[in-house]
Amino acid sequence: MTCAPPNNPNTALQLDAHGRLRHFLTLDGLSRAHLIDILDRAEGFLGIARQAIKKVPLCRGKIIANLFFENSTRTRTTFELAAKRLSADVLNLNVNTSATAKGETLLDTLRNLEAMHVDMFVVRHADSGAAHFIARHTAAHVSVINAGDGRHSHPTQGMLDMFTIRQHKGDFTRLKVAIVGDVLHSRVARSQITALTTLGVEDVRIIAPRTLIPAHAEATFGVTVYHDLRAGVRDVDVVIMLRLQRERMDGGFIPSEQEYFRLFGLTEKRLATAKPDAIVMHPGPINRGVEMDSRVADGPRSVILEQVSNGLAVRMAIMSLCIGAHNFNMNQQDAADE
């Protein structure tokens, strides 16, 4: 596998001495080969859901702890199910009632979990960089997966989106992709942009009101900025809608949700300017009538439910890579016991 550039600090933190994943914290610093490896491995896990016994023995005897300091039922459930399908034991820490809520430091909590021989932490936190902090302070045998940190990164969501795009479009290099909505507050958008550019997409567009676009976005992210939805989605192959991050807004970023939908909500009429075979995506949960019309969300171009299904296979792939099952042959798998 080709390693990412050695001068990127994320590379040294995420990869072991052989260039393989130890942690999965951000897509920044990972090479195209790393991303393709994840996508290819996830392809092998898709068929497990159709088996009578929906498990493989990759992580039998391993303990995976979900540390969700920020609520997300869908993401936590997907990670839990992915770990169980890999035959791991799963520990769900209720942070609201845990020792950290009683004054114990985060590092003390980690040390106690490590003493229970936990092999992996799946971390979701409202503060950007929290997963990186944990990765720097864990024992050498422990892997950390970032399940979303602040406005910074949501790398597994980014990869399941790439997996879904590849299923429908194949070659990334010829695609035009539009990301629409609250880019300013979205960690998902940052991971999507990094993944798309790493995989060779040259035409990445972000479409939003000026108040929801990060400063210097074109120079920072290498994207084209649009403030008109119809113009932005013209002739694109993929439209990715983002959720309005109302819980992260501390001011008047939009006049109202009704006004936002009037200008930036995806309707069938606005989608008509995209390519006839364009697909529509959304990381969920959808605010219907705000980000998109229900006829689009439930329409023939929508692949939103496929994203949810693909999330399981992609997270299994990432977990198996990080926990050290690099030599597993998907064509020679044996089902584990129930």
Q: What is the CA radius of gyration of the chain?
A: 20
DSSP secondary structure, 198-259, as one string: HTT--EEEEE--GGGS-TTHHHHH--EEES-HHHHTTT-SEEEE----GGG--S-SSS-HHH
Burial class (CB in 10 A: 0-12, 13-18, 19+), 47: exposed
DSSP state, 138?
A: S
Does 169 appear as a known binding residue? no
Does 285 appear as a known binding residue? yes
- Rounded CA separation 161/283 (Å): 8
Does 22 appear as a known binding residue? no
Nearest to 159 by CA among 5, 288, 45: 45
Angle in degrees, 0-180, between the axes of helices 155-169 and 187-198, rounded to the nearest 10: 50
Kindly give, in sequence order, each residue whose CB lies less than 8 Å from that of residue 306, ignoring residues fewer than 6 positions away. 164, 167
Does 157 appear as a known binding residue? yes
Residue 91 parent element (H or E): strand 89-93
Does 102 appear as a known binding residue? yes
Does 187 appear as a known binding residue? yes
| Distance in Å from the first CA to the final CA of the chain | 34
- Rounded CA separation 326/40 (Å): 13
Residue positions forming the annotated binding site for L-aspartate: 102, 187, 243
The annotation places the binding site at: 74-75, 102, 124, 154, 157, 187, 243, 284-285
Binding-site residue numbers for carbamoyl phosphate are 74-75, 124, 154, 157, 284-285
